[in-house]
Structure formats: structure tokens, C-alpha cells
Amino acid sequence: MDKSKKHIILGVTASIAIYKACELIRRLKECGFTVKVIMTKEAEELIKPVVFASLSGNRVYRAGILDEPDTWEIEHISLAQEADLILIAPATANIIAKLSAGICDDLLTCTVCASKANVLIAPAMNEVMYNNKITQSNIAKLKSCGYKFIAPHKGVLACGKVGVGCLAEPEDIIKELKKYL
């Protein structure tokens, strides 16, 4: 592991905004960061891991914590220890709720729980879901625990309506990320 470079863990969840994660990886690498991607199982339904592996130049870490390991490392612990920052973009209401409740049922949630690194979350979801009292309560709880958020923007949502819920632009995410390194 090259300690001269900052190591970013990019958690990718199943939002239609997943395509922006590709641009995010490219820009993070241009900034000199090492990027390792952890995908949720649901995210793999939207985009193949090979895309993120090609863009990041690193293996993509995938969903299960009890899958057959490639090495004898405990993946969520080793990933957590090497992370200088964990960025979850796009972040669904589901991942926000799981983190808020302390649920560790996949590689991403276990890595976040096991890490001392700053966590930066960029939500992307339907406006009604984002403004839901439970989602907002989960966000407030995570903020009280030191998690940082990049608010979604207003724009055309996957349902075709205009509202708040669009993933922040990659350049805005990187600008915020640099504040916490």
C-alpha cells in the first residue's frame, strides 16, 4: 500500500445516479487519490464491477462479508484501516438507514463501522424519499455521530419529476472531500 497517496474507499449503492460514480473515480484519480470501490449487491444490478475496476485500476470489493475470500485478510478490517476517507456516492435511503441503525450486514456497512476514517455521504433518491421524516431523522443521527453529508441538488429525478434528490456533481463532491482529508 502506497502511504504517500490518500486512500479513498468509494461505496456505491443502487441509485440510478450510479453512472456519476464513474466520473467521480476518474476525477479522484486525477487528483492523485488511490480509489477502492465497494459495491452493494443491489448496485451490481445496475452496473458491472468490471467498469469500476477498469476506472479505478483496483479490484472491486463486493457485497458479501461471508463470501469465499481471495486472501486470508479480513476484508472489512483491512479496507477500514487503510481508508483515509470513506465516500458513499450515490447513497440510497437504504444505506443511510442501515448506517444510522448500526446494521452491518454487508461489506460496505461493516467497513464503515470498522473504520476511524471520516465518512462523507452523498445521497441520491426521489425527493419524497429524501424528505421523508425517517430519512431526515437518520441523516440527523449520522451527522450527530460526525458523518458529513453533501446535499442532493434539485433536478429531473428518475421518475421524470423535478425535485431535490439528484446526486451532487462530481466536482462538488471532490471539493467537499478535500476538506476532510
Residue 74 binned pLDDT confidence (cut-offs 50, 70, 90): confident
C-alpha distances in Å from residue 4, one per residue of 79, 142, 179: 17, 30, 18
The secondary element (H helix, E strand) that includes residue 134 is: helix 133-144
Q: Percent of the chain at pLDDT above 70?
A: 92
C-alpha distances in Å from residue 32, one per residue of 5, 7, 19, 55, 79: 7, 9, 21, 13, 19
Cell digits of residue 159: 421518475
The dotted CATH code for 7-179 is 3.40.50.1950
User: Given this model, what pLDDT does residue 70 score?
Assistant: 53
Looking at every residue in the chain, the average pLDDT score rounds to: 92
- Whether 159 is a known active-site residue: answer yes
Please identify which of the residues 31, 104, 145, 159 carries the catalytic annotation: 159
C-alpha distances in Å from residue 143, one per residue of 23, 53, 90, 136, 150: 26, 31, 17, 10, 11
pLDDT at 174 over 90: yes
**pLDDT per residue as tens digits for the range 89-128:** 999 999 999 999 999 999 999 999 999 999 999 999 999 9
pLDDT at 72 over 50: no
User: Given this model, what pLDDT does residue 23 score?
Assistant: 97
**pLDDT per residue as tens digits for the range 120-171:** 999 999 999 999 999 999 999 999 999 999 999 999 988 889 999 999 999 9
Domain chopping of the chain, boundaries: 7-179
> Alpha carbon 102 to chain centroid distance?
16
User: Given this model, what pLDDT does residue 62 score?
Assistant: 86
User: Given this model, what pLDDT does residue 92 score?
Assistant: 98
- Residue 6 dihedral angles phi and psi, to the nearest 5°: -80, 135
pLDDT at 71 over 90: no
